[in-house]
Amino acid sequence: MKAVVQRVSEARVEIDGAVVGRCGAGLMILVCAMQGDTEANAEALAGRIAKLRVFRDEAGRMNRSIRDTDGAALVVSQFTLAADTARGNRPGFAAAAPPETGEPLYEHFVAALRAEGVPVETGRFGADMKVHLVNDGPVTIPMER
């Protein structure tokens, strides 16, 4: 699985003008299931993100995790993270898991992150979404598992 993790002061996702998920201070996580990914990959990535120390401590260092700060996460499926731009001008997405396996893996990732003690809201798999966020820092970290 691939993810782009952004530390945010707030984030929300809208579908057809209606807010379907939001969080305050915490993490905006774009996630993509790749061909060959398993539930174990989803669990491992969720565990790493829950423990990722990207929040400031008293000394101003990035030394605290989302669990340490009682933050929340907004998780949005994003198959375009699988983009292959090696040839031509149009990205290819063949490395992304097909929807029939990608959606259950996305849902498993969300459940695994919740099991790590992180409050999670989501977008809607496969929907045309508008994502709004205020990147804090900015801090943006790509991750794979």
| Active site residue ranges | 78-80
Alpha carbon distances (Å) from 62 to 7, 29, 52, 75, 129: 11, 18, 9, 22, 30
Count Cβ atoms within 10 A of the Cβ of residue 85 and give its class: 0-12 exposed, 13-18 middle, 19 or more buried.
Answer: exposed
Q: What is the DSSP letter of 97?
A: P
Assign 107 to helix, strand or coil.
helix
DSSP character string of 5-27: EEEEEEEEEEETTEEEEEESSEE
Please calculate the CA angle 101-42-27 and round it to the nearest 5 degrees. Answer: 115
